[in-house]
Amino acid sequence: MGEGEGSILDRAIVGFHQDEEQHWVAELACGHQQHVRHDPPWFNRRWTQTPEGRESALGQMLNCRLCAQGVPPQPR
Ligand SMILES: [Zn+2]
């Protein structure tokens, strides 16, 4: 499928917050947000349950599907 490696759609994780259902949402450098529960394989929920786990994920790259779809980031 040739997707993924060196993708220009990789965005750094800059933060996290929880939505109203207590699901963790990653905040990406591009301004998009992404529910971590939907992102296999390394994005399983286990690490989201500890501050150490979340901190270790900061700065990691995540492929942004919204950027891939050309969706503009929502203003906060
Ligand atoms: Zn994006």
pLDDT digit string, tens, across residues 30-60:
999 998 875 555 555 677 888 998 999 999 9
Question: How far apart are the CA of 61 and the centre of ligand 1, in A?
Answer: 11
Question: Three-state SS for 40?
Answer: coil
pLDDT higher than 90, residue 12: yes
Q: How far is CA 13 from CA 1, 2, 4, 27, 31, in A?
A: 25, 23, 17, 6, 10
Question: How far apart are the CA of 74 and the centre of ligand 1, in A?
Answer: 10
Query: Measured on CA atoms in the order 15, 59, 33, 46, is the torsion positive or negative?
Result: negative
Q: Which residue has the higher pLDDT, 2 or 57?
A: 57
**Mind listing the pLDDT tens digit for each residue in 13-34?**
999 999 998 888 999 999 999 9
What's the pLDDT score for residue 52? 93
Question: How far apart are the CA of 45 and the centre of ligand 1, in A?
Answer: 21
pTM for the structure as a whole: 0.75
